[in-house]
Protein backbone atom coordinates (compact mmCIF):
# COMPACT_ATOMS: atom_id res chain seq x y z
CA UNK A 1 0.00 0.00 0.00
CA UNK A 2 2.93 2.35 -0.59
CA UNK A 3 3.36 4.75 -3.49
CA UNK A 4 5.19 7.87 -4.50
CA UNK A 5 3.14 10.93 -3.73
CA UNK A 6 1.70 12.76 -6.78
CA UNK A 7 1.25 15.83 -4.56
CA UNK A 8 4.92 16.24 -3.71
CA UNK A 9 7.90 18.45 -4.54
CA UNK A 10 10.29 15.56 -3.92
CA UNK A 11 10.38 11.77 -3.89
CA UNK A 12 8.37 11.36 -0.68
CA UNK A 13 6.76 7.95 -0.42
CA UNK A 14 3.69 7.36 1.71
CA UNK A 15 2.50 3.97 2.87
CA UNK A 16 -0.83 3.74 4.64
CA UNK A 17 -3.27 1.28 6.16
CA UNK A 18 -6.72 1.92 7.59
CA UNK A 19 -9.04 -0.45 9.46
CA UNK A 20 -12.24 -0.15 11.48
CA UNK A 21 -13.87 -2.51 14.00
CA UNK A 22 -17.28 -2.49 15.67
CA UNK A 23 -15.78 -3.27 19.08
CA UNK A 24 -17.36 -5.63 21.63
CA UNK A 25 -20.30 -3.66 22.99
CA UNK A 26 -21.83 -1.59 20.18
CA UNK A 27 -24.60 -2.83 17.88
CA UNK A 28 -23.44 -0.85 14.85
CA UNK A 29 -20.26 0.83 13.66
CA UNK A 30 -20.75 4.60 13.53
CA UNK A 31 -17.12 5.32 12.57
CA UNK A 32 -16.10 6.09 9.00
CA UNK A 33 -12.69 6.65 7.44
CA UNK A 34 -11.18 7.49 4.06
CA UNK A 35 -7.72 7.18 2.54
CA UNK A 36 -7.18 8.84 -0.85
CA UNK A 37 -3.58 8.38 -2.07
CA UNK A 38 -4.27 10.61 -5.09
CA UNK A 39 -4.68 13.60 -2.81
CA UNK A 40 -2.66 12.19 0.07
CA UNK A 41 -5.75 12.87 2.17
CA UNK A 42 -6.66 10.74 5.19
CA UNK A 43 -9.78 11.15 7.37
CA UNK A 44 -11.25 9.49 10.47
CA UNK A 45 -14.73 10.35 11.77
CA UNK A 46 -16.49 9.02 14.90
CA UNK A 47 -20.26 9.54 14.64
CA UNK A 48 -22.74 10.10 17.44
CA UNK A 49 -26.53 10.06 17.62
CA UNK A 50 -29.35 7.58 18.15
CA UNK A 51 -31.00 5.29 15.57
CA UNK A 52 -27.68 4.90 13.68
CA UNK A 53 -27.62 8.66 13.08
CA UNK A 54 -23.95 8.73 14.02
CA UNK A 55 -23.15 6.49 11.07
CA UNK A 56 -25.03 8.89 8.78
CA UNK A 57 -23.21 11.90 10.23
CA UNK A 58 -19.74 10.38 9.89
CA UNK A 59 -20.44 9.22 6.33
CA UNK A 60 -21.67 12.66 5.24
CA UNK A 61 -18.71 14.34 6.93
CA UNK A 62 -16.13 12.10 5.25
CA UNK A 63 -17.71 12.50 1.83
CA UNK A 64 -18.19 16.26 2.06
CA UNK A 65 -14.72 16.96 3.45
CA UNK A 66 -13.15 14.80 0.74
CA UNK A 67 -15.20 16.41 -2.04
CA UNK A 68 -14.22 19.94 -1.00
CA UNK A 69 -10.51 19.07 -1.03
CA UNK A 70 -10.91 17.22 -4.34
CA UNK A 71 -12.39 20.34 -5.96
CA UNK A 72 -9.24 22.31 -5.11
CA UNK A 73 -6.57 20.09 -6.63
CA UNK A 74 -5.44 23.10 -8.63
CA UNK A 75 -4.76 25.01 -5.42
CA UNK A 76 -2.66 22.12 -4.10
CA UNK A 77 -0.64 21.92 -7.32
CA UNK A 78 0.01 25.67 -7.28
CA UNK A 79 1.19 25.37 -3.69
CA UNK A 80 3.67 22.69 -4.76
CA UNK A 81 5.06 25.00 -7.45
CA UNK A 82 6.80 26.87 -4.59
CA UNK A 83 5.92 30.28 -6.01
CA UNK A 84 4.59 31.47 -2.62
CA UNK A 85 1.05 31.75 -3.98
CA UNK A 86 -0.79 30.05 -2.38
CA UNK A 87 0.97 29.56 0.97
CA UNK A 88 0.59 27.28 3.99
CA UNK A 89 -2.24 29.33 5.43
CA UNK A 90 -4.22 28.95 2.19
CA UNK A 91 -4.05 25.16 2.56
CA UNK A 92 -5.16 25.37 6.19
CA UNK A 93 -8.00 27.69 5.17
CA UNK A 94 -9.07 25.14 2.55
CA UNK A 95 -9.18 22.38 5.17
CA UNK A 96 -11.10 24.59 7.63
CA UNK A 97 -13.59 25.47 4.88
CA UNK A 98 -14.02 21.77 4.06
CA UNK A 99 -14.67 20.98 7.74
CA UNK A 100 -17.27 23.74 8.02
CA UNK A 101 -18.95 22.62 4.79
CA UNK A 102 -19.13 19.12 6.27
CA UNK A 103 -20.63 20.54 9.46
CA UNK A 104 -23.19 22.49 7.47
CA UNK A 105 -24.21 19.41 5.49
CA UNK A 106 -24.56 17.19 8.57
CA UNK A 107 -26.47 19.92 10.42
CA UNK A 108 -28.86 20.40 7.48
CA UNK A 109 -29.50 16.66 7.27
CA UNK A 110 -30.27 16.50 10.98
CA UNK A 111 -32.89 19.23 10.54
CA UNK A 112 -34.56 17.32 7.70
CA UNK A 113 -35.03 14.12 9.72
CA UNK A 114 -36.35 14.11 13.28
CA UNK A 115 -34.75 10.72 14.02
CA UNK A 116 -31.35 12.24 13.21
CA UNK A 117 -31.86 15.44 15.20
CA UNK A 118 -28.70 16.46 17.06
CA UNK A 119 -26.46 13.98 15.27
CA UNK A 120 -22.81 14.85 14.80
CA UNK A 121 -19.34 13.45 14.38
CA UNK A 122 -15.74 14.08 15.25
CA UNK A 123 -13.25 14.56 12.42
CA UNK A 124 -9.48 14.32 12.26
CA UNK A 125 -7.57 14.58 8.99
CA UNK A 126 -4.07 14.74 7.53
CA UNK A 127 -3.39 16.23 4.10
CA UNK A 128 0.19 15.74 2.91
CA UNK A 129 1.48 18.23 0.35
CA UNK A 130 5.15 18.28 -0.50
CA UNK A 131 7.21 18.00 2.65
CA UNK A 132 4.46 19.11 5.03
CA UNK A 133 1.57 17.45 6.84
CA UNK A 134 -1.50 19.66 7.28
CA UNK A 135 -3.57 18.44 10.22
CA UNK A 136 -7.12 19.36 11.24
CA UNK A 137 -9.32 18.12 14.07
CA UNK A 138 -12.75 18.69 15.58
CA UNK A 139 -13.78 16.71 18.68
CA UNK A 140 -11.73 14.00 20.37
CA UNK A 141 -10.49 11.84 17.50
CA UNK A 142 -6.72 12.21 17.51
CA UNK A 143 -3.59 12.54 15.41
CA UNK A 144 -0.27 11.22 16.75
CA UNK A 145 3.25 11.44 15.32
CA UNK A 146 6.07 8.99 16.01
CA UNK A 147 9.48 10.55 15.38
CA UNK A 148 12.82 9.22 16.63
CA UNK A 149 10.98 6.66 18.80
CA UNK A 150 9.06 9.42 20.58
CA UNK A 151 5.26 9.53 20.28
CA UNK A 152 3.58 12.95 20.36
CA UNK A 153 -0.14 13.72 20.38
CA UNK A 154 -0.54 16.46 17.77
CA UNK A 155 -4.19 17.32 18.42
CA UNK A 156 -6.03 18.52 21.50
CA UNK A 157 -9.31 16.85 22.48
CA UNK A 158 -12.21 19.30 22.43
CA UNK A 159 -13.73 18.20 25.73
CA UNK A 160 -15.27 19.92 28.76
CA UNK A 161 -12.18 18.96 30.77
CA UNK A 162 -9.67 20.41 28.31
CA UNK A 163 -11.69 23.54 27.56
CA UNK A 164 -11.84 24.46 31.26
CA UNK A 165 -8.13 23.80 31.74
CA UNK A 166 -6.97 25.57 28.56
CA UNK A 167 -9.15 28.62 29.24
CA UNK A 168 -7.57 28.96 32.68
CA UNK A 169 -10.86 28.50 34.55
CA UNK A 170 -9.48 25.49 36.41
CA UNK A 171 -6.01 24.12 37.07
CA UNK A 172 -5.50 20.64 35.62
CA UNK A 173 -5.00 18.98 39.01
CA UNK A 174 -8.23 20.55 40.29
CA UNK A 175 -10.14 19.46 37.21
CA UNK A 176 -8.86 15.90 37.63
CA UNK A 177 -9.95 15.82 41.29
CA UNK A 178 -13.44 17.00 40.32
CA UNK A 179 -13.74 14.21 37.75
CA UNK A 180 -14.98 16.61 35.09
CA UNK A 181 -16.67 15.20 32.04
CA UNK A 182 -14.79 14.34 28.87
CA UNK A 183 -17.90 15.04 26.82
CA UNK A 184 -16.89 16.75 23.59
CA UNK A 185 -17.51 20.47 23.18
CA UNK A 186 -17.03 20.66 19.40
CA UNK A 187 -18.33 18.39 16.67
CA UNK A 188 -19.14 18.34 12.99
CA UNK A 189 -22.89 18.88 12.52
CA UNK A 190 -24.12 19.86 15.98
CA UNK A 191 -23.82 23.46 14.78
CA UNK A 192 -23.52 24.83 11.28
CA UNK A 193 -19.88 25.80 11.92
CA UNK A 194 -17.42 23.52 13.65
CA UNK A 195 -14.48 25.66 14.90
CA UNK A 196 -11.73 23.30 13.68
CA UNK A 197 -8.12 23.49 14.89
CA UNK A 198 -5.19 23.14 12.51
CA UNK A 199 -1.47 22.46 12.58
CA UNK A 200 1.37 22.15 10.05
CA UNK A 201 4.25 19.72 10.61
CA UNK A 202 7.41 19.43 8.49
CA UNK A 203 7.90 15.83 7.43
CA UNK A 204 11.06 13.83 8.03
CA UNK A 205 12.17 10.48 6.69
CA UNK A 206 10.93 7.75 9.02
CA UNK A 207 7.97 9.68 10.47
CA UNK A 208 4.90 7.65 11.39
CA UNK A 209 1.41 9.12 11.86
CA UNK A 210 -1.71 7.69 13.46
CA UNK A 211 -5.28 8.95 13.06
CA UNK A 212 -7.77 7.26 15.36
CA UNK A 213 -11.15 7.46 17.06
CA UNK A 214 -11.36 7.54 20.85
CA UNK A 215 -12.41 3.88 20.79
CA UNK A 216 -8.69 3.25 20.29
CA UNK A 217 -6.95 6.14 22.08
CA UNK A 218 -9.03 5.71 25.26
CA UNK A 219 -7.30 2.42 26.01
CA UNK A 220 -3.80 3.86 25.64
CA UNK A 221 -4.13 6.91 27.90
CA UNK A 222 -1.82 5.33 30.47
CA UNK A 223 0.16 3.29 27.93
CA UNK A 224 1.39 5.93 25.49
CA UNK A 225 4.77 4.28 25.02
CA UNK A 226 3.07 0.99 24.19
CA UNK A 227 1.07 2.77 21.50
CA UNK A 228 4.30 4.18 20.11
CA UNK A 229 5.89 0.73 20.09
CA UNK A 230 2.97 -0.72 18.14
CA UNK A 231 3.00 2.19 15.68
CA UNK A 232 6.69 1.46 15.03
CA UNK A 233 5.91 -2.07 13.72
CA UNK A 234 7.21 -2.18 10.16
CA UNK A 235 4.14 -3.90 8.69
CA UNK A 236 1.44 -1.23 8.87
CA UNK A 237 -1.50 -3.62 8.59
CA UNK A 238 -0.08 -5.70 11.43
CA UNK A 239 0.42 -2.52 13.46
CA UNK A 240 -3.18 -1.36 13.00
CA UNK A 241 -4.62 -4.78 13.73
CA UNK A 242 -2.48 -5.05 16.87
CA UNK A 243 -3.87 -1.71 18.10
CA UNK A 244 -7.45 -2.80 17.45
CA UNK A 245 -6.90 -6.16 19.15
CA UNK A 246 -5.43 -4.41 22.20
CA UNK A 247 -8.44 -2.07 22.44
CA UNK A 248 -10.85 -5.00 22.19
CA UNK A 249 -8.95 -7.02 24.77
CA UNK A 250 -9.12 -4.04 27.13
CA UNK A 251 -12.91 -3.89 26.80
CA UNK A 252 -13.81 -2.78 23.28
CA UNK A 253 -16.41 -0.39 24.64
CA UNK A 254 -16.64 1.68 21.46
CA UNK A 255 -16.10 1.43 17.72
CA UNK A 256 -12.40 1.38 16.87
CA UNK A 257 -10.90 3.04 13.79
CA UNK A 258 -7.29 3.80 12.88
CA UNK A 259 -5.22 4.90 9.89
CA UNK A 260 -1.44 4.66 10.02
CA UNK A 261 0.96 6.48 7.68
CA UNK A 262 4.66 5.84 7.07
CA UNK A 263 6.80 8.56 5.47
CA UNK A 264 10.03 7.89 3.58
CA UNK A 265 12.22 9.75 1.10
CA UNK A 266 13.39 6.73 -0.85
CA UNK A 267 17.02 5.65 -0.97
CA UNK A 268 18.53 9.12 -0.41
CA UNK A 269 16.85 11.03 2.42
CA UNK A 270 17.46 14.78 2.49
CA UNK A 271 19.86 14.87 5.46
CA UNK A 272 20.51 18.61 5.12
CA UNK A 273 16.81 19.42 5.46
CA UNK A 274 16.55 17.10 8.46
CA UNK A 275 19.50 18.83 10.16
CA UNK A 276 17.97 22.25 9.53
CA UNK A 277 14.64 21.20 11.01
CA UNK A 278 16.37 19.73 14.06
CA UNK A 279 18.42 22.90 14.50
CA UNK A 280 15.32 25.09 14.27
CA UNK A 281 13.63 23.00 16.93
CA UNK A 282 16.65 23.01 19.27
CA UNK A 283 17.31 26.74 19.03
CA UNK A 284 13.67 27.71 19.41
CA UNK A 285 13.34 25.58 22.54
CA UNK A 286 16.39 27.28 24.09
CA UNK A 287 15.10 30.85 23.75
CA UNK A 288 13.71 32.11 27.09
CA UNK A 289 10.44 33.10 25.44
CA UNK A 290 9.71 29.54 24.27
CA UNK A 291 11.64 27.28 26.66
CA UNK A 292 8.57 26.38 28.78
CA UNK A 293 6.50 25.16 25.82
CA UNK A 294 5.75 21.47 25.37
CA UNK A 295 6.40 19.62 22.11
CA UNK A 296 2.96 20.25 20.58
CA UNK A 297 3.16 23.96 21.41
CA UNK A 298 6.64 24.22 19.89
CA UNK A 299 5.29 22.65 16.70
CA UNK A 300 2.61 25.36 16.59
CA UNK A 301 5.29 28.04 16.77
CA UNK A 302 7.56 26.26 14.29
CA UNK A 303 4.79 26.22 11.69
CA UNK A 304 5.02 30.02 11.34
CA UNK A 305 8.80 30.15 11.03
CA UNK A 306 10.67 30.81 7.80
CA UNK A 307 14.37 30.53 6.97
CA UNK A 308 16.00 33.44 5.12
CA UNK A 309 19.53 33.50 3.70
CA UNK A 310 21.67 36.65 3.75
CA UNK A 311 24.88 37.53 1.91
CA UNK A 312 27.97 39.11 3.43
CA UNK A 313 27.24 42.75 4.29
CA UNK A 314 23.50 42.45 3.70
CA UNK A 315 21.33 44.35 6.18
CA UNK A 316 18.95 42.20 8.19
CA UNK A 317 17.27 45.05 10.11
CA UNK A 318 17.81 48.81 10.00
CA UNK A 319 18.11 51.08 13.01
CA UNK A 320 14.99 53.23 13.34
CA UNK A 321 12.67 51.10 11.20
CA UNK A 322 9.57 49.60 12.79
CA UNK A 323 10.14 46.00 13.84
CA UNK A 324 7.66 43.16 13.41
CA UNK A 325 9.84 40.03 13.52
CA UNK A 326 11.97 37.87 15.80
CA UNK A 327 15.21 36.56 14.27
CA UNK A 328 17.28 33.53 15.31
CA UNK A 329 20.68 32.88 13.74
CA UNK A 330 20.88 29.31 12.44
CA UNK A 331 24.20 29.61 10.60
CA UNK A 332 26.84 32.30 10.29
CA UNK A 333 27.35 35.58 12.15
CA UNK A 334 25.98 39.13 12.24
CA UNK A 335 27.21 42.49 13.51
CA UNK A 336 25.04 44.75 15.67
CA UNK A 337 25.68 48.43 14.91
CA UNK A 338 24.35 51.71 16.23
CA UNK A 339 25.34 54.43 13.85
CA UNK A 340 28.96 53.67 12.99
CA UNK A 341 29.68 51.94 16.30
CA UNK A 342 29.81 48.15 16.41
CA UNK A 343 28.07 46.95 19.57
CA UNK A 344 28.17 43.15 19.38
CA UNK A 345 28.83 40.11 17.26
CA UNK A 346 25.97 37.61 17.08
CA UNK A 347 26.64 33.94 16.33
CA UNK A 348 24.55 30.81 15.71
CA UNK A 349 21.98 30.39 18.46
CA UNK A 350 21.72 34.12 19.22
CA UNK A 351 18.41 35.87 18.70
CA UNK A 352 17.15 39.43 18.52
CA UNK A 353 13.86 41.29 18.11
CA UNK A 354 11.58 39.23 20.38
CA UNK A 355 9.82 42.36 21.68
CA UNK A 356 8.90 43.20 18.08
CA UNK A 357 6.45 40.29 18.25
CA UNK A 358 4.44 42.33 20.79
CA UNK A 359 5.10 45.97 19.96
CA UNK A 360 6.05 47.65 16.69
CA UNK A 361 8.68 49.96 18.15
CA UNK A 362 11.58 51.31 16.08
CA UNK A 363 14.66 49.09 15.99
CA UNK A 364 17.31 50.38 18.39
CA UNK A 365 20.20 49.20 16.20
CA UNK A 366 21.04 47.72 12.83
CA UNK A 367 22.04 44.09 12.30
CA UNK A 368 24.22 43.22 9.30
CA UNK A 369 25.26 39.79 8.12
CA UNK A 370 28.97 39.06 8.54
CA UNK A 371 29.64 36.56 5.81
CA UNK A 372 26.82 34.37 4.48
CA UNK A 373 24.19 33.51 7.09
CA UNK A 374 20.83 31.79 7.57
CA UNK A 375 18.26 33.14 10.00
CA UNK A 376 14.95 31.79 11.23
CA UNK A 377 12.27 34.49 11.33
CA UNK A 378 8.88 34.69 13.06
CA UNK A 379 6.60 37.53 12.01
CA UNK A 380 4.13 39.23 14.33
CA UNK A 381 0.96 38.74 12.25
CA UNK A 382 1.43 34.96 12.00
CA UNK A 383 2.53 34.75 15.64
CA UNK A 384 -0.63 36.51 16.83
CA UNK A 385 -2.79 34.20 14.73
CA UNK A 386 -1.43 31.26 16.74
CA UNK A 387 -2.11 33.08 20.01
CA UNK A 388 -5.68 33.76 18.88
CA UNK A 389 -6.28 30.07 18.28
CA UNK A 390 -4.23 28.58 21.14
CA UNK A 391 -5.35 30.16 24.42
CA UNK A 392 -3.24 27.99 26.69
CA UNK A 393 -0.16 28.71 24.57
CA UNK A 394 -0.98 32.43 24.69
CA UNK A 395 -1.07 32.39 28.51
CA UNK A 396 2.29 30.59 28.69
CA UNK A 397 3.90 33.05 26.31
CA UNK A 398 2.46 36.03 28.20
CA UNK A 399 4.15 34.84 31.39
CA UNK A 400 7.39 34.23 29.51
CA UNK A 401 7.26 37.75 28.05
CA UNK A 402 6.85 39.14 31.56
CA UNK A 403 9.85 37.11 32.68
CA UNK A 404 11.96 38.41 29.78
CA UNK A 405 10.98 42.00 30.60
CA UNK A 406 11.73 41.52 34.30
CA UNK A 407 15.17 40.13 33.50
CA UNK A 408 15.88 43.03 31.19
CA UNK A 409 14.89 45.59 33.84
CA UNK A 410 17.01 43.76 36.41
CA UNK A 411 20.01 43.71 34.06
CA UNK A 412 19.54 47.38 33.24
CA UNK A 413 19.45 48.30 36.93
CA UNK A 414 22.58 46.25 37.54
CA UNK A 415 24.42 47.96 34.69
CA UNK A 416 23.31 51.41 35.92
CA UNK A 417 24.53 50.55 39.40
CA UNK A 418 27.91 49.53 38.04
CA UNK A 419 28.11 52.69 35.96
CA UNK A 420 27.37 54.85 39.02
CA UNK A 421 30.02 53.07 41.06
CA UNK A 422 32.60 53.48 38.29
CA UNK A 423 31.77 57.17 37.87
CA UNK A 424 31.89 57.77 41.63
CA UNK A 425 35.35 56.24 41.88
CA UNK A 426 36.66 58.37 39.03
CA UNK A 427 34.94 61.62 40.06
CA UNK A 428 33.95 61.59 43.75
CA UNK A 429 32.08 64.90 43.54
CA UNK A 430 29.72 63.92 40.72
CA UNK A 431 26.85 62.96 43.03
CA UNK A 432 26.81 66.43 44.57
CA UNK A 433 26.59 68.00 41.11
CA UNK A 434 23.48 66.00 40.17
CA UNK A 435 22.01 65.69 43.69
CA UNK A 436 22.73 69.03 45.46
CA UNK A 437 20.01 68.33 48.05
CA UNK A 438 22.11 65.45 49.40
CA UNK A 439 24.44 67.94 51.16
pLDDT of 7 above 90: no
Within-domain flag for 33: yes
350 and 282 share one domain: yes
The answer on 302 and 159 residing in a single domain is no
pLDDT at residue 360, as a whole number:
74
Residues 239 and 96 in one domain: yes
Q: What is the pLDDT of residues 132-152, one digit of tens each?
A: 999 999 999 999 999 999 999
Average pLDDT over residues 105-133: 93
Q: Is residue 260 in a domain?
A: yes
From 239, 268, 297, the end of a domain falls on 268
For residue 324, pLDDT over 50 is answered with: yes
User: What does the pLDDT read at residue 28?
Assistant: 93
Whether residues 286 and 180 share a domain: the answer is no
Q: Which of 155-159, 170-174, 417-421 has the lowest mean pLDDT?
A: 170-174
Are 36 and 166 contained in the same domain? Answer: yes
- 155 has pLDDT over 70: yes
Do 348 and 201 reside in the same domain of the chain? no
User: Mean pLDDT for the chain?
Assistant: 86
Q: Where is the domain boundary, 216, 239, 268? A: 268
Q: What is the pLDDT of residues 218-244, one digit of tens each?
A: 999 989 999 999 999 999 999 999 999
- Give percent of the chain above pLDDT 70: 83
Same domain, 180 and 303: no
The total number of residues written for the chain in this structure: 439
pLDDT of residue 1: 45
User: Does residue 3 register a pLDDT over 60?
Assistant: no
What's the pLDDT score for residue 359? 75
pTM value is 0.84
Both 206 and 350 in a single domain?
A: no
Q: Are residues 206 and 283 in the same domain?
A: no
Q: Is residue 439 part of a domain?
A: no
Total domain count for the chain? 2
In a domain, 408, yes or no: no
Residues 259 and 276 in one domain: no
Digit-coded pLDDT (tens) for 356-395: 887 777 888 999 999 999 999 999 888 888 777 777 777 7
CATH number at residue 357: 2.60.120.10
Q: 206: domain CATH number?
A: 3.60.40.10
pLDDT band at 330 (very low <50, low <70, confident <90, very high): very high
Which of 365, 388, 411 terminates a domain? The answer is 388
Co-location of 213 and 360 in the same domain: no
- Full residue range of the structural domain in which residue 88 is found: 2-268
Band (5; pLDDT cuts 50, 70, 90): very low
Contact yes or no for 335/373 (Cβ under 8 A): no
On whether both 62 and 88 belong to a single domain, the answer is yes
Report yes or no on 131 lying in a domain.
Answer: yes
Residue 170 is predicted with a pLDDT of: 56
Which residues, in sequence order, are bridge partners of residue 378?
305, 326
| Spatial CA neighbour of 61 closest among 142, 144, 8, 138 | 138
278 in any annotated domain: yes
Is residue 86 reached through a cis peptide bond, with omega within 30 degrees of 0 on the bond before it? Answer: yes
Amino acid sequence: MGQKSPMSQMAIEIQHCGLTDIGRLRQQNEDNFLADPRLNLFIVCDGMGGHAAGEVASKIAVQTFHNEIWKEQGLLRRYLDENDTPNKQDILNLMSFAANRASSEVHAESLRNNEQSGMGTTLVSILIAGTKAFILNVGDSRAYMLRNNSLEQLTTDHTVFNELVSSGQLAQNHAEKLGLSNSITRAIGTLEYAKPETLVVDLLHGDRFLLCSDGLSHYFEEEVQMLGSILAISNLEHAVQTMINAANEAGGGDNITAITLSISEGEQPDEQRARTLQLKHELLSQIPLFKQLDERELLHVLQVTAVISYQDGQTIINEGEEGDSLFIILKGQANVKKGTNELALLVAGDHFGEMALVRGEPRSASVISKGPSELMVIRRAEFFEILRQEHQLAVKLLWQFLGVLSNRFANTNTELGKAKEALASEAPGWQQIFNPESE
